[in-house]
Amino acid sequence: MIGSGTGGGQQIAREDASGLVKWLRNNRRALTSTLFLIVMLIGFTMANTDVFTQFKTYRSVMIALPVSIFLVVPLVFVVTAGEIDLSFPSVVGLSSYAFVSIVDQGGDPLIGIAAALIVGAALGFVNGILVVRIGLSALVATLGMNFFLRGFINILVEGFSIAIPEIRGALIHTIMADDTIIIAGNQGIPNQMLWALAFTALGIFLYNRHSFGVRVHCVGDNPESAAEMGIDVNRTRILVFVFTGVGAALAGIFSVMINFVWWPTTGDGLLLPVLAGLFVGGTPTWGGIGTVFGGMIGTSIVAFIETGVIAAGLTGFFTQFFYGLIIILSLIFQRFNGGRVR
């Protein structure tokens, strides 16, 4: 009896250990990105203790970081499906224009949010049609859409910006972009960060626990096999572009909520940092695999680079250098961290 119990305990221990090893193996990309973020922050803290031991440093990053998170989460789905979307900076600009125009005319901000989401989803659908139905290269088609939409924005507003200071103090702004959880003094975690974390949790659920995520994985890994399994490959590919458009619309809405101003260049500077965060976070370029949590961590790494570089005493000219260096090193590491498995 005692021997049997001991053997059973050893078997359970081996199963637990096996389960832990499997979990670590399945999440090694996200864990590696998290470890890199921790090491980087430790290094920045050692370089300038005064800056990186104050909560206001982290709060300043969390104010704008959610905008990139709303973009990187759906991009994980796009890249996992074997596609790419480079139009999201201009989708951010045009969808946020829909939001700010309604608010500026005295309309209900909720109607403005709905309009922005519809515009973002519609533009994502157009991208999907161009790539999936017409058969254009995703790289070329979405890059062309990026330039086309930005030009359309400039023609539409002739370079003028739109300010909506009246939204400050409104209930919708308090809910979406104020401080609710106070950490130090009168400063707390910006609400937009909480919304971004909720959006990330939704993305993780869809990616890992929902049939949509399963279809995306299968389509990106082997579209022919996915079709034989009964998956509507074209519909899945179009939906990931629509999801990216919705994420871009949310990014645009929160960008305006944070700044109280819409510029014709809104979203323009997001292309490189968001793509860097995507690949640094552990989503490789070859499709079939990825990590939503890693994408969020990768975006956080990129967000802290500029603050850390300046705090360390270097000039802002080093920022793009480190962006490129991190992207290249992360891709090299991913190549040897686990290749594509069919």
Spans of all domains in the chain: 29-336
The token pair that represents 104 in the structure block: 């500026």
- Judge whether residue 215 has pLDDT over 50: yes
pLDDT value at residue 1: 46
pLDDT value at residue 2: 47
Q: Is the dihedral of CA 51, 55, 56, 61 positive or negative?
A: positive
Residue 139 pLDDT grade (very low, low, confident, very high; cuts 50, 70, 90):
very high
pLDDT value at residue 93: 97
Closest by CA to 302, choosing from 332, 333, 271, is 271
Radius of gyration of the chain (CA): 22
**What is the C-alpha to C-alpha distance for residues 302 and 275, in angstroms, rounded to an integer?**
10
pTM greater than the 0.75 cutoff: yes
Predicted confidence (pLDDT) per residue in 35-72, tens digit: 888 988 998 899 889 889 898 899 999 999 999 999 99
Predicted confidence (pLDDT) per residue in 299-323, tens digit: 999 999 888 888 877 776 777 787 7
Outline where the chain has alpha helix (H).
Answer: 2-26, 28-47, 49-52, 55-80, 88-104, 109-128, 138-157, 171-177, 191-209, 211-221, 223-228, 233-259, 271-280, 292-311, 318-337
- Judge whether residue 15 has pLDDT over 60: no
**Cα dihedral value 54, 279, 133, 215, nearest 10:** -90
Stretch 111-134: mean pLDDT, rounded? 97
Residue 227 pLDDT grade (very low, low, confident, very high; cuts 50, 70, 90):
very high
pLDDT value at residue 12: 56
- Judge whether residue 297 has pLDDT over 70: yes
The CATH architecture one would assign to domain 29-336 is Orthogonal Bundle (1.10)
Instruction: Specify burial of residue 117 (Cβ count, 10 A radius: 0-12, 13-18, 19+).
Output: buried
Predicted confidence (pLDDT) per residue in 144-184, tens digit: 999 999 999 999 999 899 999 999 889 999 999 988 777 76
3-state class of 163 per DSSP? strand
Stretch 288-309: mean pLDDT, rounded? 91
Residue 342 pLDDT grade (very low, low, confident, very high; cuts 50, 70, 90):
very low
Torsions phi, psi for 261 (to 5 deg): -140, 140
The DSSP bridge partners found for residue 189 are: 181
